[in-house]
Structure 1
Amino acid sequence: MSAVVSIAALLVGSGLLLLAGGLHGLLLPLAGLAQGFSDTSLGLLGTGWALGYMSGCLCVPVIVKRVGHVRTFGALASLAGITVLMNLLLMDAVAWIILRALTGFCFAGAAMIVESWLNERSTSETRGRIFGIYTMINLGATTCGQMLLTLGDPSGFFFFVLGSIIYSLSLLPTALSTAASPQPLTQARLNPKKLWRNSPIAVVAVFMVGISNGTFGTLGAVYGRRIGLDVPDIAIMMSLALLAGALVQIPVGLLSDRLDRRLVLIGLAVAAMSIGSSLSLFGGGDATVTILLIGAFGGMIYSMYPVIVAHASDHADPGDFLTISGGLLLIFGTGNMIGPLLASGLMTFTYPGALFQVTAAAHLSMLGFAIWRMSKRAAVKAEDKSDFLPVISTVQVTTPETVNLDPRTEVDKTGADI
């Protein structure tokens, strides 16, 4: 408890940041639909966010090095709040795409700064608990942000102003915190040869999961609206998918620690394709059934990323976990950029359920490559596996500093076997 109390201000700041992010992320596609934006434009919102987010992960460490953590966090959170209001003033699809990229940049940098503080305040004994509490707070805050949309009409000004206020409130805990500024931020680097040599299946799978998760996370609300769901049902649907993804990770983690993790990935991919095919063909017939199927679908797709990271960790050399995980994060973000663009174009020219054809194609590609790799490389023995740790697999809540806070990184730094 003493460790939690000492970082309470940082956890509150992170919670407010994710609360605003969850609200803003679901608000834009729903408000864009009300404004008559095309599916392609709405898909580009997700592409813009992922591009801005990855740019923030790469560039914000340089800014922090120049002006410090507190000033940078204040500037980024303030700018994120301004972009929400600019969305309200500039009801134009192109402007929203640019603003969404700017928000992604600000959000990534602000999240990294909070996480670097948490990393600085954690020890080998408390790191796992702090990581778990931080993950739960982020999940809860994102879900609450989405559920706020059940309270009113997203086409008005209220939720835009509310999002800006919450972004501004996230400034206060860090601005008033007496915690000393931590070490410089971790900057993600991509080493394709090293990643491929470590685990080819991890590289291919994380890219495909990025396509799938980015597609659903960006256009799930659009799909719901196109098949006739109302706004409260869509908010419940998207929140249920996220919560199911967190809960399913418990049995998935237990299975992947006992079986070949590639088999677990194959099982998740088959389940996701089956559920997605049902939604593609029959979604919209009954709202309750559709929402439950979406929840099951979220349980499958949002539990794949931590299995992939754990599998890559099984094969990593001591001292390489941070490099491997940071590289996989960048590949995941690249998939997040591509997926919404592909799916939105297909949805425009065909029908809303085409969203799940894109996710199915990604999962099928991952499944086929995993089966082929199983014939080329033996499974890791159970005693040689690293620990499985739950991670919410959206680019919105995962940064290089999240990887640095991961307890496996602490083990990695000691040079112990992972």
Structure 2
Amino acid sequence: MTATRNVLVLIISVMILQLAGGLIGMLTPLGLEAMGSGPQTIGVIAAFNAAGYMIGAWTAPRALGLIGNIRLFAAASAVGAVAVLALSLWHDATFWALMRILQGIAFAYMFTSIESWLGEAVPEQSRGNVMGIYHTGAKLSLMLGPFFVAGLGPLDSRAYIWTALFLTLAILPVCVTRQKEPAPPDRTPMPLMELGRMAPAAVVGVLLAGVVNTGTLALLPVYFQDFSLAGGGTAAVAIAGAAAWLGGLVLQWPAGVLSDRIERRLVIAGLCAMAGVAALLIAIFGRAVGEIGVIVLLTVWGAGALSFYGLCVAHAIDRTPRGRVPQVMSGLLFVWAAGSIVGPLMSGFAMRMADRVGLFGLAGVLLLVLAILMVVRVRQRAAPSEAQQEEWKPIQPTPLASVELDPRNPELDT
């Protein structure tokens, strides 16, 4: 608990930041649709945001070295708030695409600042528990954020003021903390071909996590805004988003613990199969099961789809030589970011071609394909020995993600 108290202000900052993240993730697709943009355009603009995030993740270590964690977080938060407020001033899809790139870069910088700081400040023996609290708090904020604007129109300026308010407020805990800023990070990239040879199942799993999860979540508000739950509109979308994240939050820890005891790829296959079946049931029987039924199935989808990324990363670490964990996790992040660029484009096209059936139909097929691939890889390549297997820790696809240290190599913790 002492380790958690020492970095509590950093965790609070991220929770406030993710309140804004949950809001903007809902408002952008709904606002674009209100302006007359179709699903494919909404997917393209979501891909622009993912591209900005990728740029931010790539350039953040250099930015940290130049200005430090506190100033980078504050500057990025200010840019993010300005980019959000600008959305309410000019209702044009091209302009929104540019602002979403800025927002992606800003969020990558803010996450990098906080997570590299956590990696330095938290002792190795406490890191798993602290990061569990960190990611749980972040998911709760993503669930709660949309409820702050429930009932407001998607282009109502008050919704964007709420988002900018949280982005600005997130600066306060970081600026008043007494925690010493960490030294600038040193990151040497790993060639993707080498990463693919080392852990091909992890690379494919992380790629499809970006494609399926980012693509589905980007179009989720469009799918659910016509529901009548809680009066419909933003309120219905907030309930849907909370249901998906709740599923991931509930199953994340049990799935991780199970993967420490049996073959991780089989657990990943099970999660993907569960999520894939739930997605196909929504696609095929969505109208028949009613709105409550769809929400229940969406929770099941979230439980599987939003839980397997961390297991893919853990599988890659199991096969990583000592001292190369930072490079592996950095490489996986960029694979995920690439998938996050492609995913919204594919989901937007699928929704344009087949409306509601297309969005979850695509997700269901891809998830079932991934489940099959994981089972095939288990048959082709044996699991690592118990001595090689690293204990699972909750990990989400955010820059650097406290990867400064290899937990199996105490010599790096100096």
TM-score range (shorter-chain normalised) is over 0.9
Deviations 1:280-307 (CA, angstroms, capped at 9, x unpaired): 1121441111111111101110111111
- Equivalent residue, structure 2, for 1:243: 246
Matches within 5 A, 1:320-331: 320-331=324-335
| Structure 1 residues 190 and 353, CA gap change in structure 2 (3 angstroms) | farther
AA aligned opposite 2:315: H
Whether 1:87 and 2:84 are equivalent positions in the alignment is no
- Equivalent residue, structure 1, for 2:269: 266
- Equivalent residue, structure 2, for 1:280: 283
Equivalent of 1:371, from 375, 385, 390? 375
Q: Which runs of 5+ in 1 are unaligned?
A: none
| TM-score, length-scaled by structure 1 | 0.91
Q: CA deviation at 1:80?
A: 0.3
- Equivalent residue, structure 2, for 1:21: 21
- Equivalent residue, structure 2, for 1:388: 392
| Structure 1 residues 186 and 22, CA gap change in structure 2 (3 angstroms) | farther
Quick check: 2:276–2:366 contact (8 Å CA) kept in 1? no
Deviations 1:52-73 (CA, angstroms, capped at 9, x unpaired): 1111111122122222322222
SS of equivalent residue, structure 2 residue 347: helix
The 2-side partners of 1:187 and 1:165 are apart by 33
Whether 1:410 and 2:407 are equivalent positions in the alignment is yes
Q: CA deviation at 1:244?
A: 1.1
| Structure 1 residues 3 and 374, CA gap change in structure 2 (3 angstroms) | closer
The 1-side partners of 2:226 and 2:354 are apart by 12
- Equivalent residue, structure 2, for 1:340: 344
Cα root mean square deviation, aligned: 2.1
| Structure 1 residues 364 and 162, CA gap change in structure 2 (3 angstroms) | same
The 2-side partners of 1:182 and 1:316 are apart by 25
Deviations 1:166-208 (CA, angstroms, capped at 9, x unpaired): 1111122222333322111354734212212211111112111
Deviates more, 1:123-132 or 1:227-236: 227-236
The 2-side partners of 1:114 and 1:367 are apart by 33
- Equivalent residue, structure 2, for 1:295: 299
Matches within 5 A, 1:99-114: 99-114=99-114
- Equivalent residue, structure 1, for 2:150: 150
Quick check: 1:45–1:218 contact (8 Å CA) kept in 2? no
Q: CA deviation at 1:94?
A: 1.4
| Structure 1 residues 288 and 372, CA gap change in structure 2 (3 angstroms) | same
Quick check: 1:186–1:400 contact (8 Å CA) kept in 2? no
Matches within 5 A, 1:95-174: 95-174=95-174
AA aligned opposite 1:330: F
Whether 1:306 and 2:310 are equivalent positions in the alignment is yes
SS of equivalent residue, structure 2 residue 408: helix
| Structure 1 residues 266 and 178, CA gap change in structure 2 (3 angstroms) | closer
The 2-side partners of 1:188 and 1:150 are apart by 44
TM superposition outliers: structure 1 runs of 4+ over 6 Å: none
Matches within 5 A, 1:195-274: 195-225=195-225, 230=232, 231-274=234-277
Quick check: 2:119–2:403 contact (8 Å CA) kept in 1? no
| Structure 1 residues 187 and 218, CA gap change in structure 2 (3 angstroms) | farther
Deviations 1:144-182 (CA, angstroms, capped at 9, x unpaired): 212223253333111101111111111222223333221
| Structure 1 residues 102 and 184, CA gap change in structure 2 (3 angstroms) | same
| Structure 1 residues 94 and 123, CA gap change in structure 2 (3 angstroms) | same
How many equivalent pairs are there? 409
Q: Which runs of 5+ in 2 are unaligned?
A: none
Deviations 1:124-154 (CA, angstroms, capped at 9, x unpaired): 2332232122112212222221222325333
Deviations 1:87-141 (CA, angstroms, capped at 9, x unpaired): 1111111111111111010011011112222222211233223212211221222
| TM-score, length-scaled by structure 2 | 0.92
Q: CA deviation at 1:227?
A: 6.2
The 2-side partners of 1:61 and 1:8 are apart by 23
